[in-house]
Structure 1
């Protein structure tokens, strides 16, 4: 006996990282999925990527092999067929001469019954807990389907203890079936980018090092409107010295915010909106060039940008809302996200208080080192084994 652990063969849902479906832009779930795909093999897991293809779109898949049915068809089958019906993934593999799966991990809400145990990562219950922040189109049907889907998993992984409370309250999931596994940050985020490469990226976008940075999709819950108000309320000398740089694609109900950003720019305000950045190297350069990272989000299941900023050596200010204090663990300057004055005060502190900046940078670095994707992968593999042993 050498104590070796038998490798697990796990199917991983990769729909959220299909280039043809995402346009090359990964949201938090996409970053999470890509990280598991890359790091689970180092935790003793043989990963088999699978993706739900859009109707007639099998040829568009490149991250994973196609599941036997599209998600809408599989969901309809779940609703209409007897409870013993399931998606036969093993037949797809064995017909190609491959071994069947021990388990399947759904990385988002696309959960259906399968011929093996299913573990699902559910990041939050936002569409149900805060429907005002989500697109109303088909909202009731989508929420109903999501609740049904969540209950099909043998085990659920949540990214924070805050999310557990939401999943229990709004999805009705048994808390005993939920494990909390924090997300992580890649090792390269700790490396200082070459100054020449960083400066080239900043010059490309007309940026001067030392700016306030925000990263996230433009949508109501991200609270960028109040961030803009807070910045515009700062003294003119501070605004002249530090740009406000907002990196994020337009999302639902962002038209008014976009007009405000453009109007501020036209008035000569030091505001920059980068709406189409998809290169991860350039994103690292933008973090490295920032003087402060400000994250005023009203609701997060985790909040990956906090870790990215921590690892990049940037002092962080964030909302004291939902999961963010849990993730930051004192390494960020917290503020009331509903108070423009409180946000502005935090921005002023990050610009002018060198002692506070030094403490936040050191604390953030330590916090990021505690939360790597290698550690997240090891803990995820342990949950797989726990489920299979039950």
Structure 2
């Protein structure tokens, strides 16, 4: 692959990034190679970090002295699938219409990657006294599965950073908090047979009804607190999202499966909200059912104090006070759990994500590029 020019506009870079169909759960070598080549041409130190899947990689790069505390720009390279039939154009070919740029990942969140990469030539030309790092991950859309492998390697790559800016779409308004999340799949296997002899079978759907009932009870209990008024709703939540099972009305169903999720306010372990469900599941095993619990994803809540240096910095860079919280989750909570202050701030709007004709505005990219260039000035002071 030929080396890309080091000076490109955010729109040009975004077009290239969108052309890589880096759908969550699939190989991402092409996009990693292109970004890595671009960064090396700027003189950045680049490390490609393989994940255990064997076909996916995180990427970590540094401009400036890696042995000093600096700032991380964090983003994910994967996107959700674009199989919806009502796209107006090829979702993996950037289309401009007026001031809008359409394509899968434009807002979530290749727009941030493009703005960051476009800002780097100006930053690389400066003598940085503190480093700027880029941490680009895979499979964020599957529950932040890639970034833990990057975080485990961070101590050997740089001095502990002062902070991390996670560029999820926020209208370029910094955000200090989000809820944590855990998701799981539960499968119950019973014993099939003819519905005229229920005494000879073990009905997995009936058994799962007990689990669903417990989930509803747990969800209702959470409405009683603890509370955090920065969120809507201001309490933790739990729901059953999918349920499948059975073959026909006259066959005792021997299998049923559900997927559940919990979202927790700061200070509450999201996985701990499943305790009542796990206890009920154990009781089914004692009655002859086979049960299986599979964790699908988990990440902690983010909670950055109002007067934290990182919050003050982003307020200065954006010209707006950071917002207290948002409802969606990000990798920022994992950075904070690793001992690195984190905050959300990126171009675009989360309301445009995960739907046909996702777009970002050219002005939003330009504003993000300007913000990151201003950050580079701070790191060279």
The normalised TM-score by structure 1 is 0.26
* Larger strand share, 1 or 2: 2
> Which one has the largest radius of gyration?
2
The normalised TM-score by structure 2 is 0.27
* Larger helix share, 1 or 2: 1
